[in-house]
Amino acid sequence: MEKTSLHGMWSSRMAFILAATGSAVGLGNIWRFPYLASDNGGGAFVLVYLACIFFVGLPVLIAEILIGRHGRRSPITTLASITRETGVSKGWTGIGWIGIVAGVLILSFYSVVGGWTLRYGWLYLAQLFGGAHITDPGAVFTSMLANPAELLFWHALFMGATVGVVALGVEKGLERAVRFLMPALFLTLLLLVLYGATTGHLGQAAAWLFRPDWSKVDAGVFVAAMGQAFFTLSLGMCAMMTYGAYLPGNVSIPRTVAIVAVCDTTVALMAGLAIFPIVIAFGISPEGGGPGLIFTSLPLAFEVMTGGIVYGLAFFALLFVAAWTSSISLLEPATAYLVERGRSRKGAAILMALLCWALGLLTVFSFNLLSHVRLLDRDLMGLIELVANDIMLPVGGLLIALFAGWVLKDNILREQLAGIPAWGFALWRWLLRVLCPLLVAAVLINALL
Ligand code: PHE
């Protein structure tokens, strides 16, 4: 097995941390986490979610990166070569296929919502220059959803931004983008939290996020928390495996992974602390906001608060950047696979982006032309989210845990995790072998019942 990837390599440990954090921090943290917390009882959800991150997310994240770095290829090729080398069933390559299909499905709706962030950013930019105010955010949101042409335009623009970076490759595209974008993202978020503090409601927001109301905890909370743990860490779909393939051999995986997970969790909590004080200050109940929470509640506040327009622009720019660095990692695994099958990087990236864009039509139309279509009590976008986020990611994660825990040879694990203390190794392996599969299976069964 050669020691470098044919797709290029991260130039340093820092570059990997920025890229992996860029993948992890996304709509999941700033759009999905606050409304999931608000729909599932605040603090109790947050605690269950943190437990899922720690006991399931972290061990699986280590496993994905380790597998990727050992194989140094796209997930499918990596798994195929490991099964050959280890002499186990080729069926395990299915993990790579599940990952690629899940990535395509997720990117199809992710880039539609990514398009919304561009559209809102544009609205606030226009306001700076005297454009129309958003006086009735609910109506603005509904009319955007009702207009397929408009949704398609922003969806295409977002996909264009994604493919532009992926086509340039690991060093010139991915690494260059995250080096600039991630620090900008952290800085903006910090400013927004500081602003949240000036509303005088930071304490209330923190209480809402951290004080558990255990009466709210039922099976649904566990399903949502586990799904969110996988989604937010970009797990189960081999994005992290692909990024691991470009990681220099001398970098400690556990230590690096811990930094990525801490950054990701911090951003989610900071997003809560930036959003809820404003929501509370303007008398909007943080409970039950749903997916429209930040698109309908926050603009209400931006409209009346001092500096609201600038704040709105900063907020949606932040959201766009977060979504962009994640969508790059959704497109990269399939692109890398096609490159290994002989296509040029540009051609592969464009082909996959077109496919995801076209699939995105289902999400776009689920709000208008096809809004009457309902399956399993969900609209089309909800259905894609259910299949990809709540089923495929946990199934992928479960298989990765079993593969790394039971199938991968000891010498591969020890080589990749050189330097980790014996108790750490034993704990990690026990979590992968026993606890993760049990917890994920229990949650999956619950989700399907
Ligand atoms: N982690 C990203 C987010 O929180 C979403 C994502 C999922 C990205 C899976 C890549 C792979 O928004």
In a domain, 189, yes or no: yes
Q: How far is the CA of 133 from the centre of ligand 1 (A)?
A: 32
User: In the prediction, which pLDDT does 134 show?
Assistant: 86
Domain CATH number, residue 246: 1.20.1740
- Whats the size of the chain, residue-wise? 449
Nearest protein CA to atom 6 of ligand 1, as residue: 234
How far is 236 from 401, CA to CA, in rounded Å?
A: 10
Under-50 pLDDT residues of the chain: 1-2
In a domain, 3, yes or no: no
Q: How far is the CA of 60 from the centre of ligand 1 (A)?
A: 15
In a domain, 439, yes or no: yes
Residue numbers of the domain that contains 154: 13-448
Q: Check if 9 has its Cβ closer than 6 Å to any atom of ligand 1.
A: no
- Phi and psi at residue 298, to the nearest 5°: -60, -45
In a domain, 375, yes or no: yes
- The pick from 235, 329, 389, 393 for probing ligand 1's pocket by mutation, whose C-beta has the most ligand atoms within 8 angstroms, reads 329
Q: How far is the CA of 78 from the centre of ligand 1 (A)?
A: 21
State how many domains the chain has. 1
In a domain, 2, yes or no: no
Quote the pTM value: 0.93
Please answer whether residues 392 and 237 qualify as being in contact, where contact means their C-beta atoms are separated by less than 8 angstroms. yes
Q: Check if 239 has its Cβ closer than 6 Å to any atom of ligand 1.
A: yes
Atom of ligand 1 nearest to the CA of 29: 4
In a domain, 7, yes or no: no
Of 108, 106, 83, 104, the C-alpha closest to 94 is 83
Q: Check if 23 has its Cβ closer than 6 Å to any atom of ligand 1.
A: yes
Alpha carbon 284 to its chain's center: 27
CA torsion through residues 75, 22, 275, 379, sign: negative
In a domain, 6, yes or no: no
Q: Check if 106 has its Cβ closer than 6 Å to any atom of ligand 1.
A: yes
Atom of ligand 1 nearest to the CA of 322: 12
In a domain, 160, yes or no: yes
User: In the prediction, which pLDDT does 1 show?
Assistant: 46
